[in-house]
Amino acid sequence: MSKLKIAVQKSGRLHDDSMKILKDVGISIDNGKDQLKASAKNFPLEAFYLRNGDIPQYLKDGVVDAAIIGENVLIEKGNGITIMEKLGFSSCKVSVAVPKSVHYNSIQDLEGKRIATSYPNTVNQFLEKHKVNANLHIINGSVEIAPNIGLADAIVDIVSSGSTLFKNGLKEAEVLLKSQAVLAVSPLISEENQLILNKLQFRLQSVLKGRRNKYVLLNAPNDKLDAIINILPGMNSPTILPLAKEGWSSLHSVINKNEFWDIIDELKLNGAEGILVCPIENMVV
């Protein structure tokens, strides 16, 4: 039986988040210490643990069928590779950073400056778009040190919390792009493995929808139901069940987590009581 070959970053936050979502979609992978390849026990899938920067070439060559990879790496190295699904975790930015002492107004301030980066393609495209000429120093590794040793006037690198910039006396000056983990597919994937990948994508979508929403149960007097229903839409409409207490009902619905607290406040103002909120593991619609 054919197996879907999927690449995952070998270590780090993206690796941990990738393995968690695979576990959440019901795929059990027993990867022993330092293994570079492991098979799932209950799904036709093999995981390959690779350096993030090497994954785009493996996709292009068809060595792996798919990958969970940072969107920023695909933008830099993955020309021609299709993104099937944005996964909503391992978010970061690719940003320009300059020494804290430098007064930065706009991207035009980089004219004629030296920029250290491990993202030359991304930086060149950005500079060309803004008609700025600068000299790039390509560095693989600790880019943040470049201004401190006189190698560059600015850097372009990944920024997550900003703590690394702060420790190196730098400040974020410009955001080139925002990135998150994505599910990417090889242009050489077979039809058989594409069907397996489609099944994996369906599971991922169900988990992601669950993560974006919360299940809400509440009690309300019947004379307040219309007002509460207008506040609390579900996938189609809330479920309403009569309570043993005369004149009261229980409402069940789904709320987007980004709107959660505003909606809860409004529900309370309109007579809702006993509000119970539950996480959703999977949401199939």
Does one domain contain both 157 and 188?
no
Clarify whether residues 69 and 200 are in a common domain.
yes
Residues 65 and 128 reside in one and the same domain: no
- pLDDT one-digit tens code per residue, 189-199: 999 999 999 99
241-260 mean pLDDT:
90
Residue 284 lies in a domain: no
Does some domain include residue 260?
yes
Question: Does residue 285 fall inside a structural domain?
Answer: no
pLDDT bin (cut points 50, 70, 90) of residue 35 is: confident
The answer on 79 and 22 residing in a single domain is yes
Torsion angle of the four alpha carbons 215, 216, 217, 223, in this order, in degrees rounded to the nearest 10: -140
Highest mean pLDDT pick, 29-33, 82-86, 232-236: 82-86
* Structural domain ending residue among the three candidates 193, 210, 227: 210
pLDDT, residue 282, reads 87
The SS3 of residue 236 is: coil
**Per the domain annotation, does 167 fall within a domain?**
yes
Same domain membership, residue 189 and residue 124: no
Indicate if 100 and 144 belong to the same structural domain: yes
- Pairing assessment for the beta strands 45-50 and 4-9 based on DSSP bridges: parallel
Query: Residue 252 forms beta bridges with which residues?
Result: 217, 239
* pLDDT tens digits along 43-78: 999 999 999 899 999 999 999 999 999 999 999 999
Q: 202 and 221 in one domain?
A: no
- Domain with 139, as residue range(s), is 92-179
CATH number for the domain that contains residue 243? 3.30.70.120
* 133 in any annotated domain: yes
Residues 62 and 185 in one domain: yes
Total number of domains constituting the chain: 3
Is 241 domain-assigned? Answer: yes
- Range in 34-38, 239-243, 278-282 the model is least confident about: 34-38
Whole-number pLDDT of residue 231: 86
Residue 58 has what pLDDT? 97
Instruction: Read off the pLDDT band of 233 (50, 70, 90).
Output: low
What is the CA 107 to chain-centroid distance, rounded? Answer: 27
Does the residue 264 lie in any domain? yes
Of 189, 210, 231, the last residue of a domain is 210
Residue 189: closest CA among 1, 45, 4: 4
Beta strands in 1-153 (DSSP E): 4-9, 37-39, 45-50, 66-70, 82-86, 92-99, 114-117, 135-138
* Closest listed residue to residue 27, CA positions, set 18, 35, 36: 18
pLDDT of residue 33: 61
Query: pLDDT-derived band of residue 30, with 50, 70 and 90 as boundaries?
Result: confident
Is residue 275 within 8 A of residue 252, CB to CB? The reply is: no
**Strand residue runs (E) in the chain:** 4-9, 37-39, 45-50, 66-70, 82-86, 92-99, 114-117, 135-138, 154-159, 170-179, 181-185, 213-221, 239-242, 248-256, 273-279
Residue 181, pLDDT > 80, answer: yes
Q: What is the tens place of the pLDDT at every residue in 13-25?
A: 999 999 999 999 9
What is the tens place of the pLDDT at every residue in 81-124? 999 999 999 999 999 999 999 999 999 999 999 999 999 999 99
Residue 90: per-residue pLDDT: 92
Q: Which of 159, 179, 199 is the last residue of a domain?
A: 179
Claim to verify: residue 41 and residue 60 sit in the same structural domain: yes
Enumerate long-range contacts of 19-22, CB under 8 Å, 24 or more apart.
21/68, 21/87, 21/89, 21/204, 21/207, 22/47
- For 252, the 3-state DSSP assignment is strand
Q: Quick one: pLDDT band at residue 32, thresholds 50, 70, 90?
A: low
Query: How are beta strands 4-9 and 135-138 bridged, if at all?
Result: unpaired
- The CATH number linked to 185 is 3.40.190.10
Residues 244 and 275 grouped into a single domain: yes
114-168 tens-digit pLDDT: 999 999 999 999 999 999 999 999 988 789 999 989 999 999 999 887 788 989 9
Same domain, 78 and 121: no
Within-domain flag for 141: yes
Look up residue 275 and give its two tokens.
Answer: 């509000």
pLDDT at 140: 84
| Whether residue 230 sits in one domain with residue 175 | no
Per-residue confidence (pLDDT) for residue 234, from 0 to 100:
57
Q: How far is CA 31 from CA 1, 28, 45, 120, in A?
A: 21, 10, 13, 34
